[in-house]
Structure 1
Amino acid sequence: MINTKAILAAAAVFATTFAGASVAETRITYKSAKAGTSYYQMGVQIAEAMKAGSNGEVIVTIEEGQGSVQNVMEVRARGADYVFTTPPVLVRLAQGGKAMFKDKSDPAFDDIRALFPIPSLTMHFVMSADSGVTDFAGLEGKSILLGKGSFGAREGAKYLKIFGLEGKVEIADAELSNAVAALKNGQIDGFVTAGSWPAPNVVEAAASTGVSVLSLNDEQVAMTKRTRLVIPAGTYAGQDEDIVTTSLPVVTYTTTKMDDDTAYQLTKTYWESKGEMASAAAWWGGVDTDLMSNITGKIHPGAIRYYEEAGVALDDAQK
């Protein structure tokens, strides 16, 4: 004879247990960059760190991004689980309805809130040792590979123009993926790349060919209107001095739809896991709380709770 009461009681226990498990698990969608890039790999590392650091309570799914602008645009249709990366300047433009966001304003942009900084897009002007080039004036008459369509290519072309080198440098017609091989073969004198540091292609070039990564002086940094960044001596083979260059800060964001506890947990786990992530990938070594000054907009209240507990100073505009 079937014991109906026993079955119902067991079902109730199962339902309660299942509900408790589902409540304990938080699922996040992390929109990063194109697959195969360093920023996509950073997203994978963050997902692994969140799972480990939260004892499986936070599960992060990585989505391939099609660009920082698109990451911001998707805020309009996403929910409380949406986390994405983008430079702070794009958030500011979106909230002001300017530039690429002109005529595309949306109230959802005003709800964007920062969580934590990640490695910045860092400019590298890499010249072969054989070229003898050690400063920007020496680029005249040299062959440089800028690549095509990337932030680094656009930024590199801009710097050549503002430093008075437009038309005085031969621009190689090749993809950036061929830069190291072309440098080794003497087909080019140098290349320009932007990404987290240490940059893998610069590491390879420095170890195999010998390179000089150019530094900018304070006047040149000011002319670029970018953020000054110092790559410490010893980062690349043969680099005996600090490299002064520029960067475009990148930050991880969510919106006010995310509850405070989840934002707190994400932020706390990120910072507590950063040391372990750095042991696996050197680009995390350049991230510390000094980068918090790159966040020019508001920070999520849940993240603010963590920063206050950790004694990280925030300015009024971030609160």
Structure 2
Amino acid sequence: MTLKQIISAAALIAVGSTASLAETRVTYKSAKSTSSYYQMGVQISEAMKAGSNGDIIVTVEESQGSVQNVMEVRARGGDYVFTTPPVLVKLAQGGKAMFKDKGNPAFNDIRALFPIPSLTMHFVVSEGSDIKDFAGLEGKTILLGKGSFGAREGAKYLKLFGLEGKVKIADVELSGAVQALKNGQIDGFVTAGSYPAPNVIEAAASTGVKVLTLNDEQIKKSKRTRLTIPAGTYAGQKEDIVTTSLPVAAYTTTKMDDDTAYALTKTFWEGKKSMGSAAPWWNGVDSSLMTNITGKIHPGAVRYYKEAGITLTDAQM
């Protein structure tokens, strides 16, 4: 090999090493592979790769739920990003509810990066049922599903609004809700997910539905976050729908370096418009959702928010 060839080979090795050092690899733990939140993780992964010109590589991992995501911070490193409602972070740090007797100092190191679409409650009824409000559910057949956040929340609301025992609960899986509504087997169903929800889109387009609005008193009783689904989100929806939601955000820990947290946060916000063109649920995410993050935000992410002129609270910094 000539001296010139040796120098050229050395230069190629040096360039390769620099590229390797520049590449940031992150694990994003989301939800079950069949859920919309897993699909969001895939979209974030694609947006990160595109927005960073391949410098940020995100691997999406399936999860059994938000509690598992939080628990795993005990054994994960600085490349770990996960999704969970802010309320679960608060419970973990306080050793309460499902985290009772499972406390760990690592929970205090959890830091937020950015919000993602909220779990949004939908009480969907067929147009033919003539149900106009929650009182109209009495004597009707409603599908709640089984084991999901939406099913638990739906049952809670029926009790809170004085409808426990007054509504017939259909013994059908949520996956069969639209078909059951079409066949007249049920008068309505309850579902929770990011809006616009695929099953509500299908029902509105094929059957004709109404999504019930909650009044101020009902929202207060629910102790959840108020959310408005804009008019026109679903076929035939002429007015805004006022409902409740459970905020969700992407988190990491203080093990992640500031530059990586900054790059992830900046790339997310800059790629959100493109993600919204492909999946409308991203259009419901804007800087107003930052107020739903009740805990601390990673210093690297804070740097981005200051640059972008997005106001944070003292408690978040």
TM-score w.r.t. structure 2 length? 0.98
Partner in structure 1 of residue 284 of structure 2? 286
Equivalent in 21, 28, 31 of residue 29 of structure 2: 31
**What is the Cα deviation at residue 17 of structure 1?**
2.6
Partner in structure 2 of residue 215 of structure 1? 213
Q: 1:75 is aligned with what amino acid?
A: V
**What is the Cα deviation at residue 21 of structure 1?**
1.4
C-alpha distance in structure 2 between counterparts of 1:266 and 1:14, whole Å: 29
1:95-135 per-position Cα deviation (integer Å, ceiling 9, x unaligned): 00110001111111000000000000000000000100010
Equivalent in 201, 211, 235 of residue 199 of structure 2: 201
**What is the Cα deviation at residue 18 of structure 1?**
2.6
Partner in structure 2 of residue 60 of structure 1? 58
Partner in structure 2 of residue 303 of structure 1? 301
C-alpha distance in structure 2 between counterparts of 1:60 and 1:201, whole Å: 28
Partner in structure 1 of residue 47 of structure 2? 49
Q: 1:163 is aligned with what amino acid?
A: F
Partner in structure 1 of residue 38 of structure 2? 40
* Runs of 4+ with >3 A deviation: 5-15
Partner in structure 1 of residue 223 of structure 2? 225
Identity of aligned residues (%): 77
**TM-aligned CA distance change 1:7 to 1:77, over 3 Å:** farther
C-alpha distance in structure 2 between counterparts of 1:243 and 1:17, whole Å: 55
Equivalent in 165, 169, 172 of residue 171 of structure 1: 169
Q: Structure 2 matches for 1:126-137, cutoff 5 A?
A: 126-137=124-135
Partner in structure 1 of residue 107 of structure 2? 109
Secondary structure of the corresponding residue to residue 157 of structure 1: helix
C-alpha distance in structure 1 between counterparts of 2:312 and 2:12, whole Å: 46
Q: How many residues align?
A: 317
**What is the Cα deviation at residue 275 of structure 1?**
0.5
**What is the Cα deviation at residue 37 of structure 1?**
1.0
> Where do 5+ consecutive residues of structure 1 fail to align?
none
Q: 1:56 is aligned with what amino acid?
A: G
Q: 1:314 is aligned with what amino acid?
A: L
Residue 268 (1) aligns with residue 266 (2): yes
Partner in structure 2 of residue 234 of structure 1? 232
Secondary structure of the corresponding residue to residue 161 of structure 1: helix
**What is the Cα deviation at residue 15 of structure 1?**
3.9
C-alpha distance in structure 1 between counterparts of 2:5 and 2:34, whole Å: 51
- The alignment yields a C-alpha RMSD, in angstroms, of 1.3
Partner in structure 2 of residue 97 of structure 1? 95
> Where do 5+ consecutive residues of structure 2 fail to align?
none
Q: 1:279 is aligned with what amino acid?
A: S
**What is the Cα deviation at residue 22 of structure 1?**
1.1
Partner in structure 2 of residue 69 of structure 1? 67
1:210-241 per-position Cα deviation (integer Å, ceiling 9, x unaligned): 11100000000000000000001111111111
C-alpha distance in structure 1 between counterparts of 2:246 and 2:183, whole Å: 31
Q: 2:239 is aligned with what amino acid?
A: E
C-alpha distance in structure 1 between counterparts of 2:19 and 2:233, whole Å: 45
Secondary structure of the corresponding residue to residue 124 of structure 2: strand
Partner in structure 2 of residue 312 of structure 1? 310
1:143-165 per-position Cα deviation (integer Å, ceiling 9, x unaligned): 00000000000000000001110
